[in-house]
Amino acid sequence: MEFKRNILITGGAGFIGSHVVRLFATKYPDYRIVNLDKLTYAGNLANLKDIEGKTNYTFVKADICDFDKMMALMSQYRIDGIIHLAAESHVDRSIKDPFTFARTNVMGTLSLLQAAKLYWESLPEKYDGKRFYHISTDEVYGALELTAPEGVESPFTTKASSLEHHQAYGREFFTETTKYDPHSPYSASKASSDHFVRAFHDTYGMPTIVTNCSNNYGPYQFPEKLIPLFINNIRHRKPLPVYGKGENVRDWLYVEDHARAIDTIFHNGKTADTYNIGGFNEWKNIDLIKVIIKTVDRMLGNPEGYSLGLITYVTDRQGHDLRYAIDSRKIQRELGWEPSLQFEEGIEKTVRWYLDNQEWLDLVTSGEYQTYYDKMYGNR
Ligand code: NAD
Ligand code: DAU
């Protein structure tokens, strides 16, 4: 069958990647979607069980660092668009093992870029109609201040805060022109990969695009990250490890809203440009944690406040960035994208999903899913 487009999505068996693959494979039946994933501890084909029978969907188990394999795949599937999400994504792991992050996030991205370059430059039309879209993070910008002006109550104490709220307090945001200032090995590796992507545009004319997004939440997130970890721990009556004083601030975006932004940018974003993606939805960790506790307790039929005692303050993350906050007005203004889900609704859906998908959580937390799904689908 002749497809209108042949799109390679890397990291499609991970958290965000699986939502992007699902969106593209269902919304664009005339596109071939090739999902390339190494299936590390974070990759799980169960995330895509509902779409694996689609005729426009193909899964390939491969490592983006394997340059020869990347070259072979480009021509085998006549790839004309790449959405690159494959990465090591957890900050705590990067603190323990920075080498793996440099290997996958930097060398892996370079291997993919070089394979795309050689393949596209070998075609008569060269870069015409091609796109290399790299998914990055707000963490490359460093950290912002938290302190409210003297005598003013912090807007982070009780609820998520809007852009207007923050502007009233004279707070800063990351914009697309904020200078890179990464602090963790994870963000340093992502910053490096962003630079390589832009270098391939500036040097070879490759039609690249980079977006930097804030913290995603929603179904299929690996339960090492704050929200699924805490939901799962509450269910199992395990301690909830709050780093430091729980004062750090993150901007949370529902994962399907990120996937929609990726769709918008892939199709309509300006080549060589950068877009920030965020929810204007900042929460102090401890306030967010209390919302999670309240929601899980309510859904499990526990009395209000029942699980508050599980909160356990632990040693802070090394180099823990205080606050991330994305100004996403450019994508709103230029491409008309904005988050569709209010946080209250998003967190309800998310908690409900994890409580309803205990088999998924149990398999993932036991590590069994890697052999379980190999047995089910064959070791591809
Ligand atoms: P994830 O850890 O859930 O998934 C990563 C996927 O990449 C996994 O399926 C894994 O198997 C695959 N992978 C890892 N190394 C690979 C390799 N060498 N070759 C091929 N595949 C490999 O990550 P996520 O949270 O879904 O993040 C996806 C992307 O989005 C990452 O690039 C991350 O930096 C970026 N991002 C994440 C967030 C967030 O809040 N999660 C926010 C902004 C940007
Ligand atoms: O900002 C975007 C980034 O968000 C992405 O680029 C990363 O891939 C993604 O992992 C995420 O990074 P964070 O470090 O912000 O996410 P994490 O869920 O690990 O932590 C969220 C906050 O909660 C952070 O301030 C650390 C804190 N935390 C986390 C864990 C796992 C705790 O207090 N206790 C915990 O056990």
Whether 152 has a pLDDT exceeding 60, the answer reads no
Report which DSSP code applies to 311: E
Structure tokens at 53: 């029978």
Distance from Cα 254 to the centre of ligand 1, integer Å: 16
Q: What is the pLDDT of residue 368?
A: 77
CA dist 301 and 20 (Å) reads 34
Q: Name residues whose C-beta falls within 8 Å of residue 260's C-beta, 6 or more positions apart in sequence.
A: 23, 337, 340
Q: What count of other Cβ atoms lies within 10 Å of the Cβ of residue 23?
A: 17
Ligand 2 pocket member 223 (CB < 6 A): no
Atom of ligand 2 nearest to the CA of 242: 33
Ligand 2: residue of 225, 287, 311, 314 to mutate (most ligand atoms within 8 A of CB) is 225
368 is catalytic: no
Q: What is the pLDDT of residue 163?
A: 62
- For atom 11 of ligand 2, the residue with the nearest CA is 215
Compute the mean pLDDT over every residue in the chain, rounded to the nearest whole number: 92
Q: What count of other Cβ atoms lies within 10 Å of the Cβ of residue 165?
A: 15
186 is catalytic: yes
- Please report which confidence band the pLDDT of residue 294 belongs to, taking 50, 70 and 90 as the band edges: very high
Q: What is the pLDDT of residue 153?
A: 53
Atom of ligand 2 nearest to the CA of 187: 6
- Tens of pLDDT along 83-126? 999 999 999 999 999 999 999 999 999 999 999 999 999 999 99
Whether 74 has a pLDDT exceeding 50, the answer reads yes
What residues are paired with 282 via a beta bridge?
A: 161, 251
Q: What is the pLDDT of residue 377?
A: 54
Atom of ligand 1 nearest to the CA of 103: 18
- For atom 19 of ligand 1, the residue with the nearest CA is 63
- Tens of pLDDT along 264-289? 999 999 999 999 999 888 889 999 99
Q: What is the pLDDT of residue 159?
A: 44
Q: Which one is catalytic: 37, 80, 88, 138? A: 138
Q: What is the pLDDT of residue 22?
A: 98
